[in-house]
Amino acid sequence: MSEKIVPPKTYYLVFGALLVLLMLTVAAAEIPNAALATTAAVTIAVTKALLIILFFMHVRYSSGVTMVFAAGGFLWLAIMFAFTTSDYLTRGERPFEHEQPPVTATTDTQGEMQP
């Protein structure tokens, strides 16, 4: 096999970093601002995932095609998230509202969907 052999020290360092990030994510849950807390949680999770993918899963030492394949699934997931979210974020809004008589039911639905 032409696979590069990674020294165990790298694995231990990565594991240490993962445990530190775990502590960090538990601590970050105490952030009072909900949006900020979620951003922190997701950022830490992405960092942990990257560490695992790059080092434990050897992507850092792999061929370019492997890297593209490894990234591909996540890229497609991002596409799915982006377009679906574009629906949920703008649902209930009416683009040409000024041309219509005000409809009270519309604002009600909106309030219900986005408490």
Partner 1 sequence: MSIDVRPTRNYLNANYSVWSWLASTDHKRVAILYMISLTLFFFVGGAAAVLFRLELMTPPGDLVISETYNKLFTLHGVVMVFFFLVPSVPATLGNFLLPLMIGAKDLAFPKINLASWYLFMAGGLFTIAAIVVGGVDTGWTFYTPYSSTYSNTNVIATAVGIFIVGFSSVFTGLNFIVTTHTMRAPGMTWFRLPLFVWALYATSLIMVLGTPVLAISLLLVAVERLFEVGIFDPAIGGDPLLFQHLFWFYSHPAVYIMILPGMGVVSEVITCFSRKRIFGYTFIAFSSLAIAVLGFLVWGHHMFVSGQSIYAGMIFSFLSMFVAVPSAIKVFNWTATLYKGSITLTTPMLYALGFIGLFTMGGLTGLFLATLAVDVHVHDTYFIVAHFHYIMVGGMVMAYLGGIHFWWPKMTGRLYPEWWGRISAVLIFFGFNLTFFPQFVLGYLGMPRRYHAYAEEFQVLNVMSSAGASILGVGYLLPLAYLIWSLKYGKRSGPNPWRAKGLEWETPSPPTTHNFVDTPVVTGPAYDYLPKDEGELEERHVPVESAS
Partner 2 sequence: MSAHVAHHFDDATQQAHSATLGMWLFLATEVLFFGGMFLGYAQYRYLYPHAFAEGSHHLDVVLGTINTGILLASSLSVAMAIHGAQLGHRKTLIRLLVVTIVLGIAFLGIKAYEYWHKYQEHLVPGRRFDPHVPAGEAAPPPEMELFFSFYFTMTAVHALHMVIGIGVMIALVVMASRHRFSAEYYTPVEMSGLYWHFVDIVWVFLFPLLYLVG
- Give how many residues touch partner 1 by CB under 8 A: 18
Q: Where are the alpha helices (DSSP H) in the chain?
A: 8-28, 34-51, 64-90, 104-113
Q: CB of residue 87 vs partner 1: minimum separation in angstroms?
A: 4
Residue 64 interacting with partner 1 (CB under 8 A): no
Choose which of 39, 60, 61, 85 interacts with partner 2 (CB under 8 A).
Answer: 85
Q: Look at residue 22 and give the partner it binds from partner 2, partner 1, none, a contact being a CB closer than 5 to 8 Å depending on partner kind.
A: partner 2
Contact status: 72 vs partner 1 (CB under 8 A): yes
Convert 63-90 into a string of H (helix), E (strand) and C (coil).
CHHHHHHHHHHHHHHHHHHHHHHHHHHH
